[in-house]
Structure formats: C-alpha cells, structure tokens
Amino acid sequence: MLRNEVSKKLGIDIETIRFYEKENLISKPERLENGYRSYSKENLVELKFIQHCRSLGVSIEEVRTLKDIQNLSTDCSQANLIIEKNLDLIEQKIEDLKNLRVQLKSLSESCFKTGAAKDCGIVKSLAQAAQGEDCVCHS
Amino acid sequence: MLRNEVSKKLGIDIETIRFYEKENLISKPERLENGYRSYSKENLVELKFIQHCRSLGVSIEEVRTLKDIQNLSTDCSQANLIIEKNLDLIEQKIEDLKNLRVQLKSLSESCFKTGAAKDCGIVKSLAQAAQGEDCVCHS
DNA sequence: CTTTGACCCTGTATCTACTACAGAGCTTAG
DNA sequence: CTAAGCTCTGTAGTAGATACAGGGTCAAAG
Ligand SMILES: [Zn+2]
Ligand SMILES: [Zn+2]
Ligand SMILES: [Zn+2]
Ligand SMILES: [Zn+2]
C-alpha cells in the first residue's frame, strides 16, 4: 500500500505517517524498486495503535512505552500508571478550564456591546489588572 | 529595576521577560551605563498586562491585538470577539476532555491490577483497537 | 513521443510559548 | 584577588505535527 492510500484509509496525514516513521514508532516499511514505501498490514496495525493512543491523549513517549509493554512485558503496572497519570492530568485540565470559563464569562458579560472602548468592561478590566487594580475576571 | 527583581516581583521568569521583549510586546527598557536593562514602571504595567491576558488563556497574537485596542481603538468589538472566541474554544476543550475522561476511566476500570499483562483490559483494548476490533474506550 | 498531472522522495523550516543553556562580562563581598 | 552572583548575547530545544522546496517517477492523454 502506498502512503496516500494508507493516509486516506486511516485518516492520518501523510506527513504525520512519515513523522511516526522518523520517530521509530513504526517498523520501517519495505521499499519498492523505485524507492516508494510499501506499507504492510503490520505497518497499518502499528499506525492504528498510535492513532488510537493519541486519540486518548497519550503522548508519543508513552506510546513508545505502551508498545514495549505489548511486545516485552508480562506485567501491566506501567500501562496502568500511564492511564492513571493521564486521567489525573485531564481532571486537572478540566478544573483549570472551568475556572477559566468563569473568568472569561465575567469578562464577556462586562462588555455591553455599545461599541465604545472606554465603556467596555473587557478593555477596562484588562487595563486595571495591568495597574494592579481589580478586574471582573479575578474577583 | 533590574530583571531579577522584576521577575521576582511579578512572578514571571527572567527568560520569559526577555522573550516578551524580543516579541516587541513591551517597550524596550532603558539601559544603564553597563548595558543592564532598567525596567520602568511602564514596563511593569506592560508585563502585568501580558501576564494577566496569558492567565486567561489569551494567545500572544491576541495580546498584541488587545494592546493595540487599548492604545488606538475607540471600539471594543474586536476585544469582545477575542474573549468570545476563547470562551467557545474553552467550552469545546472541556467537552473534549470530558469525553476523554470517560474513555480513560473505562480503560482504567478494565485493568484488574492482577499484574499480568495478558489479563489486563488496558493492554488488551489497545491491541484490539489496533487490529480494528472493539475496545472498552470507544464503545 | 511528449506532455501533463498526480503521485513519491528527501531535507528543512515553521508553528506556540516558552525554557535552557553556553560563553562572556560586570559587580560586590570577603 | 577571588569567588559568587548577577547581567549580557545568541542559539538550541521542547511536542507533535504541518508545510514547503526541489527533485524523481509513473500512467494516461494527445
Ligand atoms: Zn465591549
Ligand atoms: Zn482578571
Ligand atoms: Zn492492567
Ligand atoms: Zn478505544
């Protein structure tokens, strides 16, 4: 299978596939006589593995570890650790984003859409915060 | 004020301050005879402005725009647009992360901590998904 | 037979927002 | 005088792609 076909089939960008190869995340595909890469079924499985992990927010380095576990390890503790770590990370991110949302909403609501910058709560709050004064977003 | 003092006072890393200067986000600080930067009160306000915006998740480019609005514009519509855009983006991110959380939880719960990789739901699901089969996280 | 268009190749640059040096000079305390 | 602790500049690295430039190859159409 040529890379364009693989790309379309899996929905992974051509350059991304090349990137994964450069990172040694997949075994090097065979080459045809003309030098073109020919992706094997195994290559496709490897690519899907990465794609699936990435869709779960697992980092490239962690994908590497998970691959090794599949191939070498008889023990799943490290895999479990990766999932738990990412779970914690995501909980934290959600919390942070929720706080951010509250702040941005306050700002948003302080703009009365009159159009005049000097009456705008957003513009005002940003200027005030820069002076060390109060702002609607951090109160 | 020398950069170390500024850094400590505002809680912005020294290198980050230099980075903001290189990006022309602050006006160039005066130099002492020995070439050392001397940060003015205005510099501090500029830095706080950036810090405050960044804490709201506003990008460097958007900070630039917001700065221009403060200085030039009589109209707040662009500022409002930036806030709204970020709000939408954050809502989307929260949604995505919540979905991710569900998926990772499913995975996490499928690991029975026996320690054996071949009994581990995580290891299994990752392998199965790579083969195009079902996984606990995407069901 | 040639040309056109769609592929493929490699290598390198770009993106965001920092962060981390290396190698040098200045300043101040002991 | 020396050593610690600042400061300076320039450059490289981070994650995970993404986007070329400049070239080769291949199949079909004219
Ligand atoms: Zn407004
Ligand atoms: Zn605020
Ligand atoms: Zn397990
Ligand atoms: Zn899954």
Handedness of CA A104, A108, A109, A111 (dihedral sign): positive
Residues of B in contact with A80 (CB under 8 A): 108, 111, 113, 120, 122
pTM metric for this prediction: 0.94
Q: Do B117 and A52 touch (CB under 8 A)?
A: no
Is the separation of the CB atoms in A21 and A57 below 8 Å? no
Which residue of chain B is at minimal alpha-carbon distance from A81? B108
Average pLDDT value for residue range B114-133: 94
Q: For B55-113, what is each residue's pLDDT tens digit?
A: 999 999 999 999 999 998 889 999 999 999 999 999 999 999 999 999 999 999 999 88
C-alpha A83/C-alpha B33 separation (Å) is: 55
- Measured in Å, residue A137 CA sits from the centre of ligand 1 at 14
- Measured in Å, residue B86 CA sits from the centre of ligand 3 at 38
Q: Kindly indicate the confidence band of residue A74, based on its pLDDT and cuts at 50, 70 and 90.
A: confident
Contacts of B74 (CB under 8 A, 6+ apart): A116, A117, A118
Contacts of A46 (CB under 8 A, 6+ apart): A25, A26, A27, B130
Residue of B29 and A114 predicted with greater confidence: B29
Average pLDDT value for residue range A74-96: 96
Contacts of A124 (CB under 8 A, 6+ apart): A110
Detail the DSSP E strand segments found in B30-130. 30-31, 37-38
Share above pLDDT 90 across residues of chain B, in percent, rounded to a whole number: 91
C-alpha A129/C-alpha A104 separation (Å) is: 14
C-alpha B120/C-alpha B123 separation (Å) is: 5
Residue of B15 and B115 predicted with greater confidence: B15
- Measured in Å, residue B8 CA sits from the centre of ligand 2 at 20
Q: Kindly indicate the confidence band of residue A57, based on its pLDDT and cuts at 50, 70 and 90.
A: very high
Nucleotide nearest to A15 (CA to C1'): D18
Q: For A4-53, what is each residue's pLDDT tens digit?
A: 999 999 999 999 999 999 999 999 999 999 999 999 999 999 999 999 99
Residue A8 φ then ψ, to 5°: -70, -40
Distance A15 CA to C13 C1' (A): 14
Average pLDDT value for residue range A92-99: 98
Per residue, the 3-state secondary structure of A23-54, as one string, reads: CCCCCCCEECCCCCEECCHHHHHHHHHHHHHH
The domain over range B1-59 is classified in CATH as 1.10.1660.10? yes
Q: Nearest CA to CA, how far is B19 from chain A (Å)?
A: 19
Which residue of chain B is at minimal alpha-carbon distance from A128? B49
Share above pLDDT 70 across residues of chain A, in percent, rounded to a whole number: 100
Domain extents in chain B: 1-59, 75-139
Distances (CA, A) of A47 to A17, B123, B128: 8, 16, 13
C-alpha B19/C-alpha B111 separation (Å) is: 45
